[in-house]
Amino acid sequence: MKKLLFAALALVAVSALADTKSAAENQLKGKLPGIFARAAEQYRLLLKNLESVATEKKPFPKRWENGELVTIPPEDWCSGFFPGSMWYLYEYTRDGFWRTEATKFTAIQDRIRHYTGNHDIGFMLMTSVGNALRLDPRPEYPGMLLDGAEALTKRYSEKLGLIRSWGKIDEDKNFLVIVDNLMNLELMQWASKNGGGEKYAKIAKSHADKTSQHHFRADGSAYHVLNYNQHTPGKILEIRAGQGASVDGTWARGHSWAIYGYTMLYRETKDRAYLMRAIKSADYLLDEAEVPADGVPYWDHKAWAIPHEERDTSAAAIETSALLELSQFVPTEKSAAYRAFAVKTLLALSSDRYFAKPGEQGGFLLTQGVGHKPGKIASGKGGEVNVPLNYGDYYFLEALIRFNNLAGGKSALGK
């Protein structure tokens, strides 16, 4: 009798969970057309604002700060996000206006196809040219991506088996690797599968394996910056806080890059070690990190004065997009948990608490992004704290499209 009662109660609990899931998902699904309409209006405003401040040297918008639109050159790590967001607007709305604008801004990236000044060429090209190739292929796009991948190999050390993130290619003192670098490996995967040959996948594997080995604590949380001894493979000179609160903290966006990066690597390689790494980091986020109820994290999960710290909507958008993809690769219960967390967070991000009011924030979408708070404290200026950031918008739109795909019975990537 008791057993029967437990079974009945468990059934009620499971169906209540399923109801909650479908209620939240239905709510988000119903909101999607309105969110994209509002996003498109905002980006028309952003384009208009850009007209008066963009220059040949700095053609892309990056953030809105102190009532001004800050623009950047193609060499900035964030240069691909604005064209990329317009590609996502095109993907959802199929309005040719966005294809035309996105194509125009994507073409500018030709200037950086051989750029070796940072490790971010994967971000810069995959978000712009990669999306362009997917949505409106042109013959020049594959060459731009292949050249970009080749440029990234110039920052690779055969001896260490790692790509150098920060610093000059030939710097002797430090060999700095940041967890964000995982994101650039998508370009290497693409190049290997599209005419570049094995070399790029080998570099990606070596970098990803070494990062998995050294860049994480036992609880799955990620360090931001490691300084490797470039003369002794495998030896780490120091751990740096980087954009995080301290070496013991967990910088929220860096941790999001880890979840996203290893999910992408599992998709591309089917190596289960990457899946396990993605799950471990996702579970840290869901179970152990200090994340507020709406899912939008503080800029560092161990920031000094939580709950009186800024949230970072960019970290929220990145991890949401990653969790939606990861939800396809894990058993049912975990999948439901990742998807529920992502849907809850997207509902929050698209609410008036975070979504810019029509006509405000220069035309950006998400308010309350944090780029580099310790940088602001150290320099007393800039630092991108509590501002709209173009990468927050990009991953927000990507996550919404991934959700729409999943809700429509497709894979997150729409296949």
The alpha carbon of 150 is separated from its chain's Cα centroid by a whole number of angstroms, namely 22
At 377, the amino acid letter reads: I
Q: What is each CA distance from 228 to 174, 179, 210, 214, in whole angstroms?
A: 7, 13, 11, 10
- DSSP 8-state secondary structure symbol assigned to residue 58: -
3-state secondary structure at position 3: helix
Which of 113, 253 has the CB closer to ligand GLY? 253
255 scored as a contact of ligand GLY (CB under 6 A): no
368/349 Cα distance (integer angstroms): 10
**Region at 287 (left for phi over 0; alpha for psi -120 to 50; beta for the rest):** alpha
Q: Answer yes or no whether residue 253 interacts with ligand GLY by CB under 6 A.
A: yes
CB of 133 vs ligand GLY, minimal distance in Å = 23
Looking at beta carbons only, is 147 or 180 nearer to ligand GLY? Answer: 180
3-state secondary structure of 226: strand
- What lies within 8 Å, CB to CB, of 92 at 6+ separation is 32, 36, 397, 400, 401, 404
Smaller CB distance to ligand GLY: residue 180 or 186?
180
Q: Say whether residue 65 binds ligand GLY (CB under 6 A).
A: no
Q: Please state the closest distance from residue 260 (CB atom) to ligand GLY, in A.
A: 11
Asked if 77 touches ligand GLY (CB under 6 A), the answer is yes
Q: Which of 120, 300, 312, 393 is catalytic?
A: 120
The least distance separating ligand GLY from the CB of residue 109, rounded to whole angstroms, comes to 18
**Interactions with ligand GLY, residue window 217-246 (CB under 6 A):** 243
In whole angstroms, the minimum distance from the beta carbon of 7 to ligand GLY comes to: 48
Strand segments, DSSP code E, in 154-241 are 156-157, 162-163, 176-178, 225-228, 236-240
Compare residues 36 and 396 and give the one whose CB is closer to ligand GLY: 396
- From 180, 319, 393, 398, residue interacting with ligand GLY (rule: CB under 6 A): 180
DSSP secondary structure code for residue 262 in this structure? H
Residue sitting closest to ligand GLY (CB): 180
Helix (H) or strand (E) holding 336: helix 332-349
Angular region, 265: left φ>0, alpha ψ -120 to 50, beta rest: alpha
User: Smallest distance, Å, CB 152 to ligand GLY?
Assistant: 15
CB of 381 to ligand GLY, least distance (A): 18
CA–CA distance, 252 with 315 (Å, rounded to integer): 6
Would you say 189 or 390 has its CB closer to ligand GLY?
390
Active site residue 393: no
Q: Identify which of residues 90 and 123 has a Cβ nearer to ligand GLY in the complex.
A: 123
Which helix H or strand E contains 48, and what residues bound it? helix 2-53
Q: Residue 134 and residue 131: Cα distance in Å, rounded? A: 5
- What is the smallest separation between the CB atom of 409 and ligand GLY, expressed in angstroms? 33
- How many residues touch ligand GLY under the rule CB under 6 A: the total is 4
Closest CA to 60 of 107, 105, 125, 110: 105
Site for ligand GLY in 308-337 (CB under 6 A): none
Contact status: 396 vs ligand GLY (CB under 6 A):
no
Q: Has 147 been annotated as catalytic?
A: no
CA 222, CA 218: separation in Å to the nearest integer?
A: 10
Selecting among 76, 147, 180, 312, the annotated active-site residue is 180
Nearer to ligand GLY, 36 or 260 (CB): 260
Name the residues annotated as catalytic.
120, 180
Which positions lie near ligand GLY, rule CB under 6 A? 77, 180, 243, 253
